[in-house]
């Protein structure tokens, strides 16, 4: 298949495919007429890259998965290098989650302090006395 067809099937652009070729993630094979030629295996590589990128993997992090598929393995994550990328990504995610949990605790503490301060202020402040309201109540009682 040609580059436009592959791009459409993969849900990407021809520019992206050319970039992947430059990075060595996608093979740059040419047909007899000089056009780029791709097959189903290339589409599978692109789908692997796309899934990993959706998970937050950088392009270089996808390389071991692509190489694993190119080596003929049925899955891109069945090679030791791919498993190592998973380990590193999981450690990175765990660190990110821990930082977010810490920030959440801090924000929740600030929120609780702000609510408590607001409630204490509201309890200590007397509403202003409106003389007009009291006078008019007394006047209406006298008229009856």
3 state DSSP class of 79: coil
Nearest-angstrom CA–CA distance, 19 and 53: 15
- Tokens (6 digits) for 55: 């998970």
Q: Give the model confidence (pLDDT) of 97-114 as tens digits.
A: 999 999 999 999 999 999
Nearest-angstrom CA–CA distance, 79 and 56: 20
Residues across the chain: 144
Q: Which CATH number fits domain 3-123: 1.20.120.160, 1.10.1660.10, 3.40.50.2300, 3.50.30.60?
A: 1.10.1660.10
Q: How far is CA 92 from CA 80, 88, 97, 122, in A?
A: 18, 6, 9, 45
Q: Give the model confidence (pLDDT) of 42-98 as tens digits.
A: 999 999 999 999 999 999 999 999 999 999 999 999 999 999 999 999 999 999 999
User: At 37, is the pLDDT very low, low, confident or very high (cuts 50, 70, 90)?
Assistant: very high
């Amino acid at each position: 298949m040609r580059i436009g067809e592959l791009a459409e099937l993969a849900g990407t652009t021809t520019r992206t495919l050319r970039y992947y070729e430059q990075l060595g993630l996608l093979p740059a094979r040419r047909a007899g007429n000089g056009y780029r030629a791709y097959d189903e295996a290339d589409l599978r590589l692109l789908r692997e890259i796309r899934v990993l990128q959706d998970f937050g993997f950088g392009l270089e992090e996808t390389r071991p998965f692509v190489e694993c598929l190119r080596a003929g393995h049925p899955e891109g994550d069945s090679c030791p290098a791919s498993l190592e990328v998973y380990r590193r990504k999981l450690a990175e995610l765990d660190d990110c989650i821990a930082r977010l949990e810490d920030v959440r605790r801090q924000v929740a503490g600030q929120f609780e302090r702000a609510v408590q301060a607001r409630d204490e202020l509201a309890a200590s402040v007397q509403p202003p006395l409106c003389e007009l309201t009291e006078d008019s109540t007394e006047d209406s009682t006298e008229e009856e």
